[in-house]
Chains A and B, each alone.
Chain A
Amino acid sequence: MSIGPFIIGLPEIIAAVMGVALNAYVLTGGADFGGGVWDLFASGARRDRQRALIAESIAPIWEANHVWLIVVVVVLLTAFPPAFAMLGTVLHIPLTIMLVGIVLRGSAFVFRSYGTRGPGRWGTTFAGASIITPLLLGIIVGAVATGAVAEAAERVGRGTFADVFVAPWAAAFPSAVGLFALALFAFLAATYLTVDAEDDELRDDFRARALAAAVLVFVCAAAALLLAHSAAPRVAVGVVGALVIQAGTAVSAIVAIVALWRRRFRVARIAAAAQVSLILWGWLLAQYPYIVPPALSIRDAAAPAVTLRLLAIGLASGAAVLLPSLRYLLRTFKGRVRVAR
């Protein structure tokens, strides 16, 4: 089957599911990291109440949110093993730093909740790790998009250490994408928190933060796009080419800012989520048909058909269990109806 320039088969469907899982991770787990950023920048008369709100709104759900990342990783390693191997080899260093960030963020958060030594030290670790992880996630995405990862994979065993394992990601464009991801997550978190807040003062605190983050998002996006013209020609062409997505991103960005300004927080939350999702899909479609451009396409990297079929069955049955469960989790903690005991 084919739709326009896209050939649709099992490998493409599974790649799309991976994109959906990544999207879910960015919207949920990403926002949890953004929460950590605002924990660090909690300030003013209500700083303790800001921190309490952040902790309260992420505590019941962050572990479930975090599993989306694990889903992305297991689908990648099952359906596209050579891509997993290539990323794991060349991006060893940033992936390791990101993992340390993930470990510290998660453990610091529970130690802070259950520990006896007082919240101070774990709070700082939690907040610091919440900055490192999105930064590295963005850097990794940026490095993949430039094609430098695939080129470095060719030089494994021949090039110098710096050439193969450092240069692909320690560059201007990946760094800009890292900052962009951080700004986006902070923007998402602040927007969500305007809805979660139960009094107007706190709501206004996070409204101001969301608007500030929106400006940062714009600056980082501009920087990344400028750098993209020289560093990642495919991304530049692709993003400019995908006009519909571009326009959709712009519209949702404007709606989000206007809604925040006019205190329509629920609208702002939807628009912000749409904006971030469209940016992600803009990148994914620009990369199509590559997983690691320009070397590994979806078809080249795909595992044997029998594995893909089983994985598809597994994903479908997994989704049948998970989606209702997730709905239940969110209804229990984010809904307005509460069952008294």
Chain B
Amino acid sequence: MSTWFRLNSPAVVFDASADDTVIINLVSGRYFRLNAATSLAWNALLASGSRAAFVASAGNAPELAASVDSMIGALTAENLIVPAGETTAEATSWAFAGFNLESFSDLEDILGLDPIHEADPDKGWPAVRD
């Protein structure tokens, strides 16, 4: 079966507001912001069952096709998506207008903390073991 991608759940959670998408990787402790244009690409990628369906869903398919590999590379490098089998799912039509994955690491220590093995046994969560 050919490979496409799905959300790396449950390690990754995300929510889309009116103008942005926020994605949190609960394992790495890093979180991400997608602007409105990138949010369209993110939603279409997760709704598509194959690379062909993803590209075809964009009104400007050639432009998207040229960026798919770098987009997938950026998302897989952060373990936000993982390989999965292809399906016949198709995304609704949208227009590709660029991709920008903005990352933040300021909460890495606490978001990525394993509270059992890395929390201080005497002080408890969220104090980190020395």
Q: Do A and B come from one complex?
A: no
B residues within 8 Å of A by Cβ?
A: none
Query: Which A residues are within 8 Å of any B CB, using their own CB?
Result: none
